[in-house]
Structures are given as structure tokens and as C-alpha cells.
Structure 1
Amino acid sequence: MATNIQINGRRLTTQHSVNAAIKSICNIMRRSNCAGAMQYVPELTWILFLRILDEQEAQEAERAETVGAEFIPSISEPYRWRDWAAPPDDSLFAEKSNGCPIGWKRRELTEGGSLGSFKSFVNDDLIPHLRSLRKRPDATPRQKIIGEIMTAVERVRIDTDKNLLDVLDRVHALRNGHIDPTHVFALSQVYEGLLLKMGEKGNDGGQFFTPREIIRGMVRAVDPQWGETVYDCCTGTGGFLAQSYEHMRDALGQEATADQIETLKRRTFYGREKENLIFPIALANLVLHGIDQPKLWHGNTLTDVAAYADLFHDAPAQFEVILTNPPFGGKEGKEAQTRFAYKTGATQVLFLQHVIDSLAPGGRCGIVLDEGILFRSNETAFVQTKRKLLDECDLWSIVSLPGGVFSAAGAGVKTNLLFFTKGRPTERIWYYDVSDVKVGKKTPFTVDRFADFFRLLPDRADSERSWTVERADIEAKRYDLKAVNPNARGDQDRRTPEELLDIIEAKGREVAEALSALRAALADGRPGP
């Protein structure tokens, strides 16, 4: 009989109930040595990942048994979630190979062990074992992913056995089968809500987080299709790749073949990320979204020095789609600059060169760039890079964003979205301006702001917010690409000089009358008016 590890937990039927469940977990972690989002999100990441992985492998084992195929789990007992983390239940059995009930290892550690023995098992046995999976000579792609996700985990941060067990119980109850998909978000979107907490100002995680409304608009504009490879050279927490997967999966719809789904999950999404803390979070986020084998490279993209490259070994040299948000204002040394034709310490300029070189002929790109790179013409590398962009690619649109779009992430810099196709030079650029939209904490930028952009985009039509600039005009301004809306209506004073003089004269009479009244009051010994 096939294994069944599902537990009859309460069904979460509203978004509020899911948010409350997540909040209760985070509250325990906050009082357990994980004060801020930069501490509790990474901790919850690996715990939630192991929970979902166990559920996924249980389902795969059932399907394999149904068709008489062999299934080899990525994690052996007692290191599976169902062994050490799941609440003990004698009525549910882990697998007939060992005949032990669900949670048997947890019961052994908590009922027969000494105080602190559960955390000792996690720190001294479980975590080292999972980290070592990637180093096995015969490691599967999934085992490499597991090992990489655990690389940033030295020890569990939660302070006591009791608090850790409480977190595990709540995570165990939070599974896709307990969430009503017709009313609330899937776990992947719940997890993105946690990542947003990391990206909020003051949490030092903003540099890794692009607002999801911006990502959705960019993915829609570039429109990645099944069969195309998608690449992000600054993956961060994986937002562009995750959204691209959902976009491509939804486009396939119910008619998708098994081969199409397999290609989408295992041979489509590629990325690079430098930061040790963020790389495993990106992997977990993509797996949680349904990308079974995200091809992520860990290291410095600009120097091409890898910390871990096994997951990226079969990556193509160029990609059909690139969606990315390079860091603003960074500085690179000589080691990075030597790899590029146009030398500069400006990180975003080097990334733009990398993106152009990494884009396949006919490929499409959507990239976030700070406004400085668009208008600066006093540094040779800036001008040369923009000329390279216009010579090798058709830069078909620039969207000018409000200054506050990234302020929640601690970056108030003005940004633009650039969209281009490689293989033909730019003849003209269609601009769209939403820079006047007021953005704040209570009024975030929402995807509906792009509705008019998408309405006008097919014909590149002119409007109060959109206009076209010819290549010759750009060259005449030494490749200044900054969006300057010729249709913008400023607050102009339309009063005539005579009217202004009359106003000044009238104000003068008012002042004179007030001074006269004040002098009269002082002469009579009375308080002033």
C-alpha cells in the first residue's frame, strides 16, 4: 500500500488565516534569538523547504509505486522530515522499508533523550548530513540543491528545544493541501511575503529584493515563451525567475504536455548570485514555486569567480530572455574590469555590458537601471556602453519610474526600465513616463500603473505620458537617454506682469495699513492689534 503521511489538520480557507499561521511562526522565532527578518527568514527558509520537499517526495514515491517504478529518495532516514520533525503519530507510517511510525526519531530524542538532545541532533547530525549531500560523487541535482540550501546554516538559531518543536509543529501544519487555492495564495506567494519583510527598509535586505509589481510588469512586457531560456545575472531572492515560471506555465495552460512541464521545471531557468546568505534563499524560493532544478551559479558574476558552479554546469553561453535588476551604485576593482571592453568601476555599467553579451541573437531583455547611467555622458565607459547597446540591440522602450519605487528597500534612487531585443540596431526609442506618480509606504507602486503602457505599447503610440525619440537626436546629445517628457504639464504662473504688479501694490498697502495701526496703538499705550 502506498505511503500516506498526510495529517488531518485544519484547512486554511482565508488569506487572513494563512497570514496568521505564518505570523505565529515568526512570533515564536522573534522571541527565540531571531529578532529581525534577516534572522528569522533564512531560518524559516530551510525549515519550510525540508517540509515541502518531504511532501513532494512522498507524492513522487506514491506515483512511482503506482506504475511499478523505483523511487530513490534524496534524503534517507532518519534525516527525512517525517522522521525527525513531524509530530509523532503511531497511526501513520513513514515507509514500509523500516516500518517506523511518523515522527519516530523525534519521539526517540524528546522522550528518551536528555534536555537539549533534540537541538543537538539537529546541529550536530542533521545539518552536517544535509550539507554534505552536494559533495557526494554521485549526488543527484536535487541533492546538490539540498546541500546548497543548507550551506548558510551552521546551527539552528532558535534558542530552545521547546520553541524549535513548536515552530516545527506549525510548519508541519502549513502545507499546500491545507490551503484552499480558490481563496488564498499558495505557499510560494506566502513565502514571497516573508521575503518582502527582508527587503523592507532597515532590514539590510533591500538590495536583493525587486518590488514584485515591477517584476510582473517587466515579465509581461518581455513575454518569455516555452522553449526559451531565462537568465538573471543578479538573481537576489529569485523573483524574476519565479515570476517568469508562473507566466510561462500559465501560458501553456491545461494543454501542457509532460515534456513541456519537464522542460520548464528542469531546463529553463538560470541565474547567478554572489551573496552567501541570499543564494540558498533563492534556491528554496524557486523550488517552492515549482522549479525542480533551478540552474543557479554562486559567485561574483563580474569576475566570473565561482563559489559553487555545479548546478550551472550545462548552462548555455547566451540566453533567449534576460530579466534582471543590477545593484545600484556599486564599485568594482580591476579584476572585474579586465573582463570587459569598456573599463569602469561602476557596477551597473559592467552588468549592462555582461547582459548585452549574454543575450542570444533575437533575444529580449528587461533590465532595471538607475537614472545616472542614462544621462551621464562625462565618462567614456558610460558613453561607449550605451553606444554598444544601441548598435547591437533595438532599445524599443524606456519606462521612467517614480523616485520612491525602491524606497521601501532603502534605495531612493530614480530608476528606469529598459527593454531591448538583440540583433538589430536602435533606430528610435519609445518612452513612457510614470515618474509623476506619488509612491509612499501607504501608496506603493501597483501593477495597474502599467495598464496604459500596455495599451499603447503595440503601436508605440504617443500620449501625454509617451513619446518617441529618434536615434540621431540621441547621438547629438552624446547618448543621453534620460526620459524628459515633452508633454509634461508643469505648474506655470500664467498671470501677466501688470497683474503681478497690482498684487504687489495691494500687498504693500496691507502692510502699510498694519504698520500704521501698530504705531497708533503704541502711541496710545494700548496693546498692538
Structure 2
Amino acid sequence: MARTRKNNTANGNGNGNGRKYTSQQSLNSYIKSICDIMRRSNCAGALQYVPELTWILFLRILDEREQQEAEYAEAVGIDFSPSLQSPYRWRDWAAPFDDSLFALDSEQHFQGWKRLQLCEHTKEATELQELKEKGFISDLSQPFKTWVDFFLIPHLKQLKDQENATPKQKIISEVISGVERVRIDTQKNLLDILDKVHEISSENVDDTHIFPLSQVYEGLLLQMGEKGNDGGQFFTPRIVVRFMVQVIDPQIGETVYDAGLGTGGFPAQSYEHMAGKDNCKITDPQQLNILKHQTFYGREKDNLIYSIALANLVLHGIDEPHIWHGNTLTGGEAYGGLFADAPDQYDVILMNPPFGGKEGKEAQTGFDYKTSATQVLFLQHLLKSLKPHGRCGIVLDEGILFCTNKEAFVATKRKLLQECNLWCIVSLPAGTFVAAGGGVKANILFFEKDKTDETKDSTEKIWYYDLSDIKVGKRTPLTEADFEDFFRLLPTRGDSPKSWTVDIAARKAEAAVKAAPLEEQAETLNQQATELRDRLAALKKAKKQDTEEYSEIEQAVKEIEKEAREFKNQAQAIKDAVYDLKAVNPNAKAEEDNRTPDELLDFIEAKGSEVAEILANLRKKGR
């Protein structure tokens, strides 16, 4: 907190009213009021106002945390180096002026002193006049907004280029990397927003009764998946994220990786799980340091989402998220400064690769099995990135599971089952991703890299759990209760009306038996073709290739080889069918229509009457 001159009686936010947000609804409403100002200030949709609020909120929380760290360092007698110097700290330029609060700098400025300078256009704010004289700006009607655009943002963006820049300074630069100018249209609206954001502090938010601010921020991210926006592709429903994290159960000391980070949901939830927020599990400072600085790694290519993910992770308490900015599949790097010294393989991988994505040949060159399907390429990437005995949870489009007529799909799944123990597949309801902007049918795969016996595949049996019968929509999302039965059965992987086990090893053996006769016929035919080709070679050596015998043998070879290929393809199709991993619940009861023919005709007649009535009404309205 900023230090007061009045026996520490003033509130840390400078307003002195001791306001507390004691319910989730009150805090959500307050955030909404900030977004309302943004909507009428040139940020009409969530894809505009969420990124703008992101960097503003990030700088507010950063400043509060650094003040707390500085006061702690002073109390215990250790050195502390702030990430930002005056006047680029929130307390200098964004906080409302308050002469009862010091900004804690060597010149003993008051809180908000730079903002006061700029808003009153005092003589001390000479840098703006210099800008005008050099012709960079034409007027100074909005001096505060101009200073933010021409001084604050450029300064924050270049922090990462300073000699010996700290990880936190690099993070600050990357959070601001996509910001060129303030989107808010007027200085007054910007100041109103800053005042409201300033009231959000640890003193104002009673997190003993409501979710922390990070959860409210995640609610904003979800709004990017609203109708008319494209941000839902980067947001996995949090109930799915929590479920996957709980199943994988990452531990302190393990590295956690997401190759398609999106807004950072998986590392954020993993951090909360590992930190043991509800039971205060971590008491060792060394463990906490490992968790905050040496645990979380990820990649994201979208410029806007990359900076949002960084801010989201820092807001969750991850001080040093190691995020690589670039295309994971092509290797094209935009910025790798936060990913220095990252390992090649990880203990835990959690991710939801983009549904339906397509990549060009550039992305395919580095993969064993060439395909344009983004999810298949990501799955290959994960197999390389997972440590021996590492654990992975991944969301995949159902089409990936059942496809057996594309070589890269089958080869990738074959490699998965060979190298890893794919021990569980959870079939999600069709509407799971509707609230996040997608309606695709998806599954969650859980596997462990467990290649111990080179003579057989790691996956012998797969336990399936089926949630597809649950009706899910925007207003009826999945809940924790929907997963209770799964966790009840998980210890024994027991069978139930919703769960069953598929013996992959037995299925593979059965397929081999069925395919064997076809392979034998193909081999016999190929031997015949080889013998005939030997005869052709002898005729050619005798210069008899123009004879009728040569033509007949040549035609016979073609027909025999074609028939051999057909047998071989039939055998391969039988073997490839093993890798149709789609969840088909053997316990599901098909709905039967037991109506008699007369009842069906009555139904059709009734529907026809309804249609005729609707058409008649439409014709009346059209006259």
C-alpha cells in the first residue's frame, strides 16, 4: 500500500471510504460498470474492452503487489528492486491524487502526483510541450491521455530490451506488446476507468467470502466467446479445466506445459490446485518459489491472446510464466525471451488444441506423419514433449478418434497407443463448448508415457466414461455434480451404465487374426506376380517383348498386382479399425419409436395442418 502521513488511517486506495466487495455479485457488478464505460468509449465488444481492461488491471495489481513486497523487504531488512520506477508506476500516473499518501519514492511525491501534473498541465510536465514543438502532436487538449500514449506505453514496451532486464520486466513488456495507443476515446472516460480500477485492491475485495479477482477476470475472458466474437476458441470451460487438472493431479516440483495456451486456463487452474488454496498446503518458501517461478510453460501464437494469457497467469499468482510467443507447429517465433532455458520435455501436459484448425505444408515439415489437421499435429508434438512417465490430459475433436481412413490420423494414434498408456477417454456432451463459442463434440484423453516393454504396446485397456447423454447449453453448462460418479468409479475404473472397458490388446489380436488370410492371399498373389515378372525379363532378354505372349503376361501381372493390393488394403483396413477410439457406450439404450402406422400418419397429418396454418398467416401478413 502507499504509505500515509496520518497514522495509516487512510485506505490503501486513497478514497478513505473502506469499501468492501463482500459478495461475488457485488464484485461482478463493479467490473461490469467498468466495462460499461469502455463500451461507450470506442470498445464496443468484448474483443475490444477485455484486452484494454487487461493491461490496465494488470498494472494496478502489479503496483499493489510490488508495494507489498517493498514493505515486506523493508521490514525484514532485505533489498528489493521494483520493476518500474517513478513516474511509470500506477501510484504515480493512474492513482487519484491524494496528499495524505506518499508514493514511496526518493522525492517523497504524493500518490497521483504525475496524474495531477498532466491533468492540470503544470509547468513540470514539460515533455508534452516538447512533443508539440517537435511536431509529434498538434494539440494538448488531452494531456494525460497523450502522455499515456507517447510516454507510458512506449516505456513499458521497451523494458524487455534493457540490459539485465528482469523476468517481471519482460512480462510487463509482453503484456503491453499489443498496445499501440489507448483505445478509450476521451481523457475523461479514461480517468473514470482508472478511478474505478484503482478501487480494486486486496483491501477492497474480501476474498474470504468471494472468489479472488482472477476468477472475475476469467469471467471477462469468457465474454470473448459471446455471439459475434471469435475469442471463444481460446477459452476452455473452467469446469472442464478443473476436472482435467484434478484427474492429472500435478504436484509441486513437476513442470506443467500447454502447447496451445489460449487465455491460460490450464496453468492457472494447475497453480490453484498445486498451491492448495483451500487448505493452505504450501508452507515451505522454497516450494512456493518453485511453484511461482519454475513450474509453468506454454506457447501461444495469437498476439492479442498471448498478452491476455500472461496477465491472467500473473493475476493468478504465477510470478514467472514461461510463455513462448509464436507458432508451436511451424516454430515461427515472435518472442522467446520468457522461454529461455525451458526444458524439452515436461512432467505434465494439459491442453485443448484448436478444433478444426488447418496448417500448411510449412507446419507439417517437422512431423513424422504429414497432415493439415492441427489437432493431429499437436498430438504428435505432445508425444515428443512428454517426459517418460509424464502425464497428459488433452481435449480432442471426436472426429480425430473415429477416423481410420487417413494415414496420418491412424499412424499418430498407433504411436500414442504404442508409447503411452491411454488409460481413459471421457466422452463430453455435444454442447460442452457452446458457451465458449463452439458446438463440436469432443472427448478428453488421459494418458501416461509408459514404454517399458518394447515387445508390446503400452496401452492394453482403455476405460471409457460417457457424459454424452447430458443436455448442455449456454444456460445449462456442465457442473461439478456431473463428474461425481466418474470420481467415484475412478479408483477401480469400474463398469457402470456410463462406463466400460475396451480391451485394446484383445481387439488388436482379433484384428490380426481376421487380417491374416487376406495378407496371405496378397502374399501368394505377389509371389505369382514376381514369377511372371521373371518370365517377362527372360522374354525381354530374348528380345521377344513384341510377342503376344509378352503382352498377355504383362496384362496378367497388372491384374494380379491389383488384386494383391486390394487384399492388402482390406487387411490393413481391419487392422486400422483397431484405432477407431470413439466412445460407443454398450450400455446405452436406443430410443425406439413404438407408434403404429396409423399413429404415425395421424402425427404427419397434424404437423401438415400446423404448417398449412403458418403459411396462411404469412400470406395474410404479406398482403
Same fold (TM over 0.5): yes
Shift of 1:167: 0.2
For structure 1, the 5+ residue unaligned runs are 512-529
CA deviation profile, 1:87-137 (whole Å, cap 9, x unmatched): 000010011411110000000011125520000000000000000001112
Which residue, out of 134, 151, 154, partners 1:128? 154
Alignment of 1:180-195 (within 5 A): 180-195=206-221
Aligned twin of 1:230: 256
Alignment of 1:79-118 (within 5 A): 79-112=88-121, 114-118=140-144
Alignment of 1:284-295 (within 5 A): 284-295=311-322
Aligned twin of 1:484: 584
Q: Secondary structure at the match of 1:76?
A: coil
Shift of 1:407: 1.6
Alignment of 1:17-416 (within 5 A): 17-112=26-121, 114-250=140-276, 253-416=280-443
Asked if 1 retains the 8 angstrom alpha-carbon contact of 2:2 and 2:111, the reply is: no
Asked if 2 retains the 8 angstrom alpha-carbon contact of 1:474 and 1:480, the reply is: no
CA deviation profile, 1:378-411 (whole Å, cap 9, x unmatched): 0100000000000000000000011111122332
Superposition CA RMSD, Å: 2.0
Asked if 1 retains the 8 angstrom alpha-carbon contact of 2:2 and 2:103, the reply is: no
Residues of 1 paired with 2:51 and 2:2: CA distance?
34
Which moves more between the two structures, 204-213 or 14-23? 14-23
Q: Secondary structure at the match of 2:303?
A: coil
Shift of 1:461: 0.2
What letter matches 1:16 in structure 2?
Answer: Q
Asked if 2 retains the 8 angstrom alpha-carbon contact of 1:3 and 1:58, the reply is: no
The 4+ residue runs of structure 1 with deviation greater than 3 A are 1-5, 472-476, 503-507
Asked if 2 retains the 8 angstrom alpha-carbon contact of 1:201 and 1:408, the reply is: no
Residues of 2 paired with 1:90 and 1:283: CA distance?
34
Asked if 2 retains the 8 angstrom alpha-carbon contact of 1:462 and 1:468, the reply is: yes
CA deviation profile, 1:437-461 (whole Å, cap 9, x unmatched): 1011211112221111111111010
Shift of 1:472: 3.5
Aligned twin of 1:519: none
Q: Secondary structure at the match of 1:265?
A: helix
Which moves more between the two structures, 34-43 or 16-25? 16-25
Residues of 2 paired with 1:455 and 1:444: CA distance?
21
Alignment of 1:454-469 (within 5 A): 454-469=487-502
What letter matches 1:461 in structure 2?
Answer: G
Aligned twin of 2:564: none
Residues of 1 paired with 2:259 and 2:58: CA distance?
24
What letter matches 2:315 in structure 1?
Answer: L
Report which structure shows greater RCO (CA 8 Å, sep ≥6). 1
Residues of 1 paired with 2:328 and 2:94: CA distance?
37
User: Over alpha carbons, which structure has the higher Rg?
Assistant: 2
What letter matches 1:48 in structure 2?
Answer: L
Aligned twin of 1:518: none
Which moves more between the two structures, 345-354 or 437-446? 437-446
Shift of 1:181: 1.5
Which moves more between the two structures, 171-180 or 108-117? 108-117
Aligned twin of 1:438: 471
The number of aligned residues is 505
Residues of 2 paired with 1:196 and 1:473: CA distance?
43
Asked if 2 retains the 8 angstrom alpha-carbon contact of 1:319 and 1:360, the reply is: yes
Aligned twin of 1:523: none
Alignment partner of 1:448 is 2:454: no
What letter matches 2:203 in structure 1?
Answer: G
CA deviation profile, 1:58-96 (whole Å, cap 9, x unmatched): 011111111222211111111100000000000100114
Shift of 1:201: 3.2
What letter matches 1:10 in structure 2?
Answer: R
Asked if 1 retains the 8 angstrom alpha-carbon contact of 2:102 and 2:109, the reply is: yes
Shift of 1:6: 1.3
Residues of 2 paired with 1:217 and 1:255: CA distance?
22
Asked if 1 retains the 8 angstrom alpha-carbon contact of 2:367 and 2:380, the reply is: yes
- Taking a change above 3 Å as real, the CA distance of residues 410 and 474 of structure 1, as seen in their structure-2 partners, is farther
Give the fraction of aligned pairs with identical amino acids, expressed as a percent.
65
Shift of 1:473: 5.3
Shift of 1:20: 1.5
Residues of 2 paired with 1:505 and 1:10: CA distance?
65
Asked if 1 retains the 8 angstrom alpha-carbon contact of 2:92 and 2:103, the reply is: yes
Residues of 1 paired with 2:356 and 2:341: CA distance?
32
Asked if 2 retains the 8 angstrom alpha-carbon contact of 1:432 and 1:453, the reply is: yes
What letter matches 1:393 in structure 2?
Answer: C
Residues of 2 paired with 1:478 and 1:489: CA distance?
24
Instruction: Output the TM-score relative to the length of structure 2.
Output: 0.79
